[in-house]
A = this chain, B = another copy of it.
Amino acid sequence: MPRSKIPLAAQASPDDIEQQFYEALQRGDIEQMMATWSDDDDIVCVHPGGQRLVGPGAIRGAFDAMFAAGTVDVQPDKVRRLQSPGCAVHSVLERIRMLTDEGPQTAWVIATNVYVQAAQGWRLVAHHASPGSPREVPEVAEPASTLH
């Protein structure tokens, strides 16, 4: 089946863009991935444990390298949405299945996805992901030990 490379519909919602983003990760589809992003020079992406990547070129380069290594078995879960005119902030717990020497494992990643409405429609402008707990990440009022 040919991979989708069509531009995303102008009426696509932030939820639609988010679905396209995670499908692109699952399929390793760089064109679908980059179609979810704004083309602003200041879009920013932080992968778990990774450096700050700024701009479409750096972000594409990182996803290219990631997809060269394989696809990502990721499922978004427990999405919290904060919607305002022209801006949507989604907090996502990503459930990632991996095969390890000890068999299949599940890892959790905490991601913040920010979507902004521009002329071409809603687009991703920031994806910040960091490692969560080895098991499902609870939501609590008590902080873990933190740097700040």
Q: Which residues of A contact B (CB under 8 A)?
A: 25, 40, 42-44, 46-54, 57-58, 61-62, 65-66, 72, 74, 80-82, 84-87, 89, 91, 93-94, 96, 107, 109-110, 112, 114, 116-118, 125-126, 128-133, 137-148
Contacts and interface: CB of A to CB of B under 8 A. Distances in A.
Stoichiometry (number of copies): 2
A83 to B, nearest CB: 9
B146 A128 contact: no
A148 B66 contact: yes
Nearest to A87: B87
Given A50-B143, A52-B93, 18 more contacts: A40-B82, A42-B80, A47-B146, A48-B130, A49-B146, A51-B110, A51-B138, A58-B139, A58-B140, A65-B142, A65-B143, A74-B148, A82-B125, A84-B117, A87-B87, A94-B148, A112-B114, A114-B114
